[in-house]
Amino acid sequence: MTLFATKPIATLRAEAEATGAHALVRALGPLNLVTLGIGAVIGAGIFVITGQVAALYAGPAVPLSMIVVGVACAFAGLCYAEMASAVPVAGSAYTYAYATMGEFAAWIIGWDLVLEYAAGAATVGVGWSAHFVSLLGLFNVRIPASLTAPPTQWCTAAQAAAHVAGCAHPALNLTGAVINLPAVLIVALMSAVLVIGIRESARVNSVIVILKVAIVLLVVLVSLSHIDRANWTPFIPPNTGEWGTYGWSGVLRGAGLVFFAYIGFDTVSTAAQESKNPQRDMPIGILGSLAVCTLLYVVVSAVLVGVVPYGDLNIAAPMAYAMERIGAPWWIRVAIDVGAVLGIGSVAPPTSPRSTPALRSAWPPGSCRCSCSGPGSTSARCWRLCWCAAGCGSSGPSVPTCTAPSARPGFRSSQSWASCAASA
């Protein structure tokens, strides 16, 4: 037994081609993969984070932050494209690490991916909530503030000095809210849509991507005649003396924040096992979606800071505010909030269900593995029984809906299968 045992690529390919009731179906072409990537990237970044980066860090130079991140992601995208075409298996970085660096590294990366998806889903859920509340407000529907905000808020010293709303002092502040209920609901809803199946999810995602890109382009066209070039001067505001607050350091710090909005491009690699022709389609999907998203980010951020002074953009819905500022018709403001609701909603969470078949084997290195299959395999008790089989070294429970392989040689546990299964 070794913690650095690798899984041969031939074995991974064989597992990917296996068929069964719960096997992933190869149903995605290059256009599906491109729209999948766009749907994962174009969301909170373009509707929320763009304004915050401009107001707090980069100023009018926020398009430079977008370009810097686009170049960095292009290099990462080349690596993902190469690996996804060579190892067309669900699991993304987890699978690549298992094939190249060994089981221990894959185990760490696998759970890092779970953490990434959880944090990403929470972030886009909060952005979706802000625009959903704004959309309801246009129709005079109000949700109590205690149900649409987080219980706490982190504030910097500069925000506290500027008396930003909710920032009574630096560090953690209590907001008085109970829970951000819309954010919780959208994450649960989009997870349910993905669980239905890849064909249904691909269709829904493609429709949403077309709608939100059309709305983003509409915003750009409406804003062009309202751009004030004075808002672009100085293009790179002088640094305030604190690293990362304007100046070139602000451009880089803004790029670091925007990168979090770009990471959705790796979503395409998690769909490698569902691609019809992964060797051809995966590079097209990853790099194509990244190019489209970078172009949209640069154009929208340049227009946004041209319409509204960058200092006024540190709000939850900067694009909607910009349209209100220029006196755009009511229907355009509604369209923006609808686009944000659809756009951010299609991001949360696009990758976790596709990675689950591979990540469910990320047990502690050296332990046995388990899988549920057949009727009733999604039941909570089935998985609890599998945990018992893995922890107790059993050859598996004697029920038709759950199977577990025997423990690896040398694995021992003092707990018996009977006592563990009884508590499940």
Per DSSP (E only), the strands in 56-102 are none
Q: Quote the number of domains for the chain.
A: 2
At residue 162 the predicted structure's pLDDT band, cuts being 50, 70 and 90, is: low
Q: Mean pLDDT across the stretch 50-74?
A: 90
CA dist 124 → 41, 219, 373 (Å):
10, 21, 32
According to the per-residue pLDDT averaged within each range, which of 63-77, 106-120, 269-283 is highest? 63-77
Residue 387 to residue 369: CA distance in whole angstroms: 9
Of 411, 415, 417, 412, give the one whose Cα is nearest residue 366.
411
Residue 244 to residue 262: CA distance in whole angstroms: 20
Q: What is the pLDDT of residues 343-399, one digit of tens each?
A: 676 665 444 445 444 554 444 444 444 444 444 444 444 444 544 444 443 333 333
Exposure pattern of 385-417 as b/e (b: 16+ CB <10 Å)?
bbebbbbbbbebbeeebbbbeebeeeeeeeeeb
User: Residue 172 is inside which H or E element, if any?
Assistant: strand 171-174
Beta bridge partners of 402: 372
Residue 229 to residue 224: CA distance in whole angstroms: 11
Residue 247 to residue 164: CA distance in whole angstroms: 22
The answer to whether residue 173 is domain-embedded is no
Question: Across all residues in the chain, what is the average pLDDT?
Answer: 74
Q: What is the pLDDT of residue 114?
A: 79
The answer to whether residue 186 is domain-embedded is yes
Asked whether residue 58 falls in the same domain as residue 196, the answer is: yes
Amino acid at 119: A
Q: Which residue has the tokens 């019809």?
A: 276
Asked whether residue 60 falls in the same domain as residue 109, the answer is: yes
| Inter-residue contact 39 to 209 (CB < 8 Å) | yes
Residue 234: asked if its preceding bond is cis (omega within 30°), the reply is yes
Residue 112 to residue 304: CA distance in whole angstroms: 34
**Residue 416 sits in which domain range?**
371-423
Q: What is the pLDDT of residues 185-239, one digit of tens each?
A: 888 887 777 676 555 566 777 787 888 788 888 889 999 989 999 999 899 999 8
Asked whether residue 404 falls in the same domain as residue 268, the answer is: no
Asked whether residue 33 falls in the same domain as residue 90, the answer is: yes
Q: Which residue has the tokens 């972030």?
A: 123
> Which CATH number covers residue 63?
1.20.1740.10
Last residue of a domain, one of 359, 382, 410: 359
Rg of the chain over Cα atoms, rounded to whole angstroms, equals: 24
